[in-house]
Chains A and B, each alone.
Chain A
């Protein structure tokens, strides 16, 4: 449904490389996640695929249309929700939706079933100006506007940044329902827990792809053992275990510290911590999550 082949894009007359050697494809009906930090090149890829930006090198297609030659056909059949809120702030909720429907030659009524689940939540505020909506409601309206012409591919650039846990869960429920209706979704996120909700994910950093896999396979490929270290005064334990010669990496994860060791497994770390006066700490081997894998890949 989406293909990218050797895509490269630079800015400032070649001085800054935004993305390079990008190759991947997204299957029909798939939720494909682009996971990476700010500045990794995610938005550049979205803009190339939505025909808003020309790549320096390489080719890309969406729904079998070429992003350069067939740009107008692509624009007709995709929905795009940019990371920055891009609706008309001084139009009301309903006016925005009407506007987007009209631009794409359709009506709200015609595709209402597609947006119904989402739109009913913001319908009580349909006369409110979009600029006066809260973050969660802006997000829902933007999704409605991106869906109103019944696109075959949906591009969502960090749709849940700055949105609370409850709204984020609801949002992903909606994506699953859209997927069930056959819509292909390319979505980027900075929340690692959302990565595991995708069918496949591409980890992207500094303009290049580190890995493309299903979430399960990415977790499987984590080398060595991961330990959860609990107890004690977290910050002091963190400083001490980082200073320990056998430690490869240590990061805080919720109420535990996640530690990997240079030999792939523990070699006396607990003893060392006891000597440092941390008597109430415990350590166990745990399965790594996506975030552990991402941190590992970022460092490697």
Chain B
């Protein structure tokens, strides 16, 4: 099984500014990969290239076997994306959101209907099918958004700060969903500012000033930098950042 994400010196420049510089890494099928970095380190730029939304300046990358320069439409069909900032339509109901995304990804009515029932059952949201998304608590919205990002059974799901602002219990329930998805073979690529969540990843990378400054399993990183937790590892690396946001 080849890695689902392969990058080789992937770089994005905006004029003279190098937002992401020579990123080289691989992510395996079913892996939970934490993509860490301070605000402004270049995470969003890198993610946009991997999702086929931003053309790299140089370097190579394939996502689910497809090239980020020439096969972006194929990439988009094979990935799911969820961001804390935007994922669901507030003025559509829960089931309308599922139908909308199912439709976008080319599922037929029968498939969508079956998927909707599965999803609502799994999230215990059967009684909320006709509720407007805006009326759901944030934690439920996030869980629903995650499930909707998987509606078309993608190979990879990109999660951009999925758990901001929710309570500790809800945050852990969200990670149960992530584990469950990875267990079924979905590759999870996740950014977070909660460093305890970084520990739940199989491997994490830490970006500083557009460069991947460290990449390993949480246990190996802690050993290498001689800290008892990832927060201290992150702090040691990220505070060296020179470039302002």
Q: Are B167 and A162 in contact (CB under 8 A)?
A: no
Which of A229-274 touch B at CB < 8 Å? Answer: 234-235, 238, 251-255
Answer whether residue B195 sits at the interface, using C-beta atoms and an 8 A cutoff: yes
Q: Return the CB mask of B152-179 against A: 1 if under 8 Å, else 0.
A: 0000000001001111111010010001
Answer whether residue A208 sits at the interface, using C-beta atoms and an 8 A cutoff: no
Assuming A169-B235, A234-B200, A254-B229, is B165 touching A163 (CB within 8 A)? Answer: no
Write the nearest CB–CB distance from B48 to chain A, whole angstroms: 16
Assuming A165-B234, A253-B196, is B39 touching A295 (CB within 8 A)? Answer: no
Q: Are B137 and A39 in contact (CB under 8 A)?
A: yes
Q: Are A235 and B219 in contact (CB under 8 A)?
A: no
Q: Are B39 and A163 in contact (CB under 8 A)?
A: yes
Q: Are B84 and A162 in contact (CB under 8 A)?
A: yes
Answer whether residue A192 sits at the interface, using C-beta atoms and an 8 A cutoff: yes
Q: How many residues of B contact A (CB 8 A)?
A: 38
Q: Return the CB mask of B11-50 against A: 1 if under 8 Å, else 0.
A: 0000000000000000000000000011110000000000
| In the bound complex, CA of A270 to CA of B138 (Å) | 36
Write the nearest CB–CB distance from A173 to chain B, whole angstroms: 12
Q: Which residues of the other chain, A, contact B137 by a CB distance below 8 angstroms? A: 38-39
Q: Which residues of the other chain, A, contact B166 by a CB distance below 8 angstroms? A: 37-38, 190
Answer whether residue A298 sits at the interface, using C-beta atoms and an 8 A cutoff: yes
| In the bound complex, CA of A269 to CA of B168 (Å) | 24
Q: Are B172 and A134 in contact (CB under 8 A)?
A: no
Q: Are A165 and B199 in contact (CB under 8 A)?
A: no
Answer whether residue A135 sits at the interface, using C-beta atoms and an 8 A cutoff: yes
| In the bound complex, CA of A255 to CA of B220 (Å) | 12
Answer whether residue B52 sits at the interface, using C-beta atoms and an 8 A cutoff: no
Which of A127-168 touch B at CB < 8 Å? Answer: 133-137, 158, 161-168
Q: Are B38 and A38 in contact (CB under 8 A)?
A: no
Q: Which residues of the other chain, B, contact A298 by a CB distance below 8 angstroms? A: 167-169
Q: Are A164 and B219 in contact (CB under 8 A)?
A: no
Answer whether residue B74 sits at the interface, using C-beta atoms and an 8 A cutoff: no
Answer whether residue A299 sits at the interface, using C-beta atoms and an 8 A cutoff: yes
Q: Return the CB mask of B223-245 against A: 1 if under 8 Å, else 0.
A: 00000011100110011010011
Determine which of A36, A38, A39, A163 lies in contact with B193 in the assembled complex, contact meaning CB atoms within 8 Å: A163
| In the bound complex, CA of A255 to CA of B222 (Å) | 11
Answer whether residue A291 sits at the interface, using C-beta atoms and an 8 A cutoff: yes
Q: Which residues of the other chain, A, contact B199 by a CB distance below 8 angstroms? A: 254-255
Q: Which residues of the other chain, A, contact B40 by a CB distance below 8 angstroms? A: 134, 136
Taking CB as reference atom, which chain B residue is nearest A190? B165
Q: Which residues of the other chain, B, contact A253 by a CB distance below 8 angstroms? A: 196
Q: Which residues of the other chain, A, contact B172 by a CB distance below 8 angstroms? A: 251-252
Q: Are A39 and B138 in contact (CB under 8 A)?
A: yes
Apart from A37-B166, A136-B245, 8 more pairs, CB < 8 Å: A37-B170, A133-B245, A161-B165, A166-B239, A167-B39, A190-B166, A235-B179, A254-B230
User: Interface residues, chain B, CB within 8 Å of chain A?
Assistant: 37-40, 84, 137-139, 161, 164-170, 172, 175, 179, 183, 193-196, 199-200, 218-219, 229-231, 234-235, 238-239, 241, 244-245
Sorted from nearest, which 10 A-B pairs have the closest CB atoms?
A: A37-B167, A134-B245, A254-B199, A38-B138, A164-B38, A254-B196, A235-B179, A255-B199, A136-B39, A166-B238
Please list 25 pairs of residues, one from A and one from B, whose beta carbons are closer than 8 Å in the complex, sorted by A's number. Answer: A36-B167, A37-B167, A38-B139, A38-B167, A124-B244, A125-B244, A161-B164, A162-B84, A162-B164, A164-B37, A164-B38, A164-B39, A164-B238, A165-B195, A165-B234, A165-B235, A166-B38, A166-B239, A166-B241, A190-B165, A234-B200, A251-B172, A254-B195, A254-B199, A254-B200
